[in-house]
Amino acid sequence: MGTKERRLLLLSSSVVHGSEYLQHAADDINNFLKKYHVTRILFVPYALHDYDEYTNKVTSVFEKWGYKVNSIHTSKDPVQAVKQAETFYVGGGNTFQLLKALYDWNLIDPIRKSVLEEGVPYIGSSAGTNVATPSICTTNDMPIVYPPSFTALGLIPFNINPHYLDASPTTHMGETREQRIEQYHKIPGVPPVVGLREDCLLHIEGDKITLKGKSCVRIFSPGKNPEEHEAGSNLSFLLKTI
């Protein structure tokens, strides 16, 4: 599939401590939607259990900004809803639940096609960011349901670890996030992982990636030392490693 038309905004988190839902990324989201002349959003609520409640919360935020929201769960034909979507917002929650629902409703290929071939903009947050990558292998979520595969939408060729956390020096809490990613990188052939701290987001346009938000990201590549890249950095090299 092509990547020239790709338009993605991938958030680490929908909430940052002390602020309301999506407010920390309000400017970036609004600039993104305006740039592509979006007026309607197709919301994907599958990562949480109560779709109606989740849709109300998301709708109230986007409506305040002037956008119309439809949730895919209210459509009788979700595949058709994807084909007609003007933009996607895939919300956070449990990544396993989200991916399983995308498979259950046969939405993997249609979403992939819309984004990569038709240039339909895609906003993901947390679990919605995980499923945009080649696999959900670097989610932090509990495996509360069993999806038919860990292979995800593959809108980009590298993994993301949302809510990336540095090790706490004072207590043990099982493996650190960095150790978990190192364990992943012992498996031959797996891609780099971007450790996306909570107030970070990636803006991907075709073959260009810009790091937005306020923090650095930590990038893990198999066989290399991790690297820090600061807000505003051009991370397009991540699209050229594969």
Residues of the shown chain interacting with its own copies in the complex, contacts defined by CB under 8 A: 13, 15-17, 48-49, 93-94, 96-97, 126, 136-146, 149-150, 162-163, 165, 170-175, 180-181, 183-184, 186-187, 190, 198
Q: How far is CA 145 from the centre of its chain?
A: 19
Euclidean distance between CA atoms 111 and 218, whole angstroms = 28
204 binds, among Ca ion, its own copies, none (CB under 5 to 8 A by kind): none
Would you give the binding string for Ca ion spanning residues 105-134, x where CB under 5 A is met?
A: ---------------------xx-------
Nearest of 189, 153, 192, 196 to residue 6 by alpha carbon: 153
Catalytic residue among 73, 75, 163, 215: 163
42-65 as b/e: b if 16+ CB within 10 A:
bbbbbbbeebeebbebbbebbeee
φ, ψ of residue 76 to 5 degrees: the values are -75, -25
Give min distance, CB of 52 to its own copies, in A: 14
141 near Ca ion, rule: CB under 5 A = yes
| Cα atoms found within 13 Å of the Cα of residue 199, Cβ hemisphere only | 15
Give min distance, CB of 157 to its own copies, in A: 18
Query: Which of left, alpha, beta for 156 (phi over 0: left; psi -120 to 50: alpha)?
Result: beta
Catalytic residue among 12, 13, 126, 135: 126
Nearer to Ca ion, 124 or 191 (CB): 124
129 binds, among Ca ion, its own copies, none (CB under 5 to 8 A by kind): none
242 binds, among Ca ion, its own copies, none (CB under 5 to 8 A by kind): none
What amino acid is encoded at 142 in this protein? M
Give min distance, CB of 198 to its own copies, in A: 6
Residue 86 CB neighbour total at 10 angstroms:
18
What amino acid is encoded at 47 in this protein? A
Give min distance, CB of 18 to its own copies, in A: 8
Tokens representing 187 are 């498996």
Nearer to Ca ion, 55 or 126 (CB): 126
Tokens representing 207 are 């073959």
83 binds, among its own copies, Ca ion, none (CB under 5 to 8 A by kind): none
Nearer to Ca ion, 126 or 161 (CB): 126
Give min distance, CB of 4 to its own copies, in A: 31
| Cα atoms found within 13 Å of the Cα of residue 116, Cβ hemisphere only | 16
Let me know if 141 is a catalytic residue.
yes
User: Are 126 and 92 contacting, i.e. CB atoms less than 8 angstroms apart?
Assistant: yes
> Which positions are annotated as active-site residues?
126, 141, 163
